[in-house]
Structure 1
Amino acid sequence: MRLIVDSGSTKTDWIAIDDSGKILFETQTLGLNPQVLSEAIVEERIINNYELYRIRNEVDSTYFYGAGCGTEPPRKLMEGVLKSIFQNATVTVKEDTYAAVYATTDPGEPSVVCIIGTGSNCSLYDGEAVHQKITSLGYILMDDASGNYFGRQLLRDFYFNKIPKSLAESFAEEFNLGAEEIKTNLYKKSNPNTYLATFAKFVIVHKNEPYIQALINKGLGLFIENQILQFEKVKELPIHFIGS
């Protein structure tokens, strides 16, 4: 049995297949980003899933593609957790960009592949290997146009009184925007990036509002400028977007 895993900061999708490629089952856990979660929390989120725990000794290979796995320390953390749970399996851990490339490009087709979800990143696939120009410094400094980016901008604009009154009232009705609630989630609880991304659905629902349109355009503009345009000859290549 093989496990193929696509993990973001908010959720993780697991698919089990047999040697012929037949899907045996699909399941989901909370996000497993090793850059923002401890080893203990990552392990807990996996073993608390009954389906995964039940078949842990039947798995012979695990392919994990995840956010936060682009550098060696978090990648090693994830490998260690997976090997401790699926003890009979070989384990491969790569950043989520590889899964995005496999999902969107034809074999050997050079292209630019972008992920926009809770976080964001951009890579160049040259037909053989995946290249990144920008080293991610995490959600506080980067992640333009992502869910947590838009959540952060909404909260800032709400408290700086920059959101139009009627839209601000709708925002306050839908979410708990008390200062203590926000600060507790940002500075005292785990996964502040995921918390920020929960506000992004407000952007989607109200995307036709002029204020929201300007917010989206600014975020996407930053992503294009800071990520996509880093690559030479980008105008000659197909550009793929994938994400939540």
Structure 2
Amino acid sequence: MQLIADSGSTKTDWRLLGADGSVSQARTVGFNPYFQTREAISAEIADKLKPLVTEPVTDVYFYGTGINNAAKAEVVAESIQAVFPEAGHIEAHSDMLGAARALCGHDAGIACILGTGSNTCFVEDGDITFKVDTLGFWLGDEGSGGYLGRTLVQAFLHKEMPEDLYQKFHKRYPDVNRDTVLENAYQKPYPNRYFASFSKFLFDNRTHAFAYGLVVRNFEIFFEKYVEKYPDCRKYKVHFTGSVAFYYSDILRRVAQERGITVGVVMETPIAGLTLYHQTA
């Protein structure tokens, strides 16, 4: 049996590929080797995943957040090996490589993640060959839900949005004010998730000219700062995964078309594409 995983900070989607070609699904909490020990990761996998595994495990392909060097990859791989000692082959890679393989398969193209944060790379034959780095939430993440929400909250606090939308926002989020925003931004953990939560308001009001314009500008900046810095970005298809790309795909495609960029696949999560990639490897 092969195990394939796509892991974020909050959840991990698993696919279990049986020797007879069957595919089953499972979900555990998310794993991040920066914040969790080998023991904690192993315990969760043993408790939630192992009971669902009905055959000996031969191969494991794990893609996740926080796996950005060999040491962190080793933490995850050893955690999995402790639960499935019979597995002869275990790989642990970054979520960016997972997105790239899910979106592009074995073809050349540009892969993008637009979710709570943003990330991009150029991939060829299943490997990342070039990357335009983002600078994280506070200095970058343009195109993401975190950036969208941050821009929206700024417009609200500065009273830069139309009165009708201002009142609608205030009614939906009565506790949002300068003090609560600064507390969530600088004192509480995961400010990116806090600001990304406001992206839903933009989605629900995307037909409003102000909200629509804010989303459009968000994607324009994303293309300017990242995609258009890739050589021959208009020669290759640009593919996307993540909730922001998926739910705003109509606006995303429109902005791309206006800039002469061809959007290929847009998927909410990479796990189905990853499963296909490893089935055809």
- Aligned residue runs from structure 1 range 209-224, under 5 A: 209-224=208-223
Match of 1:174 in 2: 172
Answering whether residue 70 of structure 2 is matched by residue 62 of structure 1, we say no
Aligned positions of 1:23-102 closer than 5 A = 23-24=23-24, 26-34=25-33, 38-40=35-37, 43=40, 47=44, 50-52=47-49, 54-55=51-52, 59-89=57-87, 90-102=89-101
Give the Cα–Cα distance (whole angstroms) in 1 for the partners of residues 144 and 43 of structure 2. 25
Give, in whole Å, the separation in 1 of the partners of 2:118 and 2:171: 28
1:5 to partner: Cα distance: 1.3
What residue ranges of structure 1 are gaps of 5+ in the alignment?
none
Q: 1:110 aligns with which of 108, 111, 119?
A: 108
> Structure 1 residue 65: deviation in Å?
1.4
Aligned CA-pair RMSD: 3.1
Which position in structure 1 is the counterpart of 2:17? 17
Q: Distance in 2 between matches of 1:161 and 1:154?
A: 10
Count of aligned pairs: 240
Question: For structure 2, which runs of at least 5 residues remain unmatched after alignment?
Answer: 244-281
Alignment of 1:148 with 2:143, yes or no, is no
Identity %: 28
* Cα distance in 1, alignment partners of residues 84 and 167 from structure 2: 49
- The secondary structure found in structure 2 opposite 1:39 is coil
Post-superposition Cα deviations, 1:99-145, rounded to whole Å, max 9, x if no partner, equal 323333353x2211111111111111233521233234322222111
The CA distance in 2 between the partners of 1:189 and 1:30, in whole Å, is: 21
Counting only pairs closer than 5 Å after superposition, residues 124-143 of structure 1 correspond to structure 2 as 124-127=122-125, 129-143=127-141
TM-score (norm 2): 0.72
| Deviations 1:169-188, CA, capped at 9 Å, x for gaps | 22222234144443443334
TM-score, scaled to structure 1: 0.81
What amino acid is the match of 2:209?
A: P
What CA distance in whole angstroms lies between the structure 2 residues aligned with 1:86 and 1:185?
Answer: 40
Contact 1:9 / 1:194 at 8 angstroms: preserved in 2?
no
| Segment of structure 1 superposing worse, 205-214 or 64-73 | 64-73
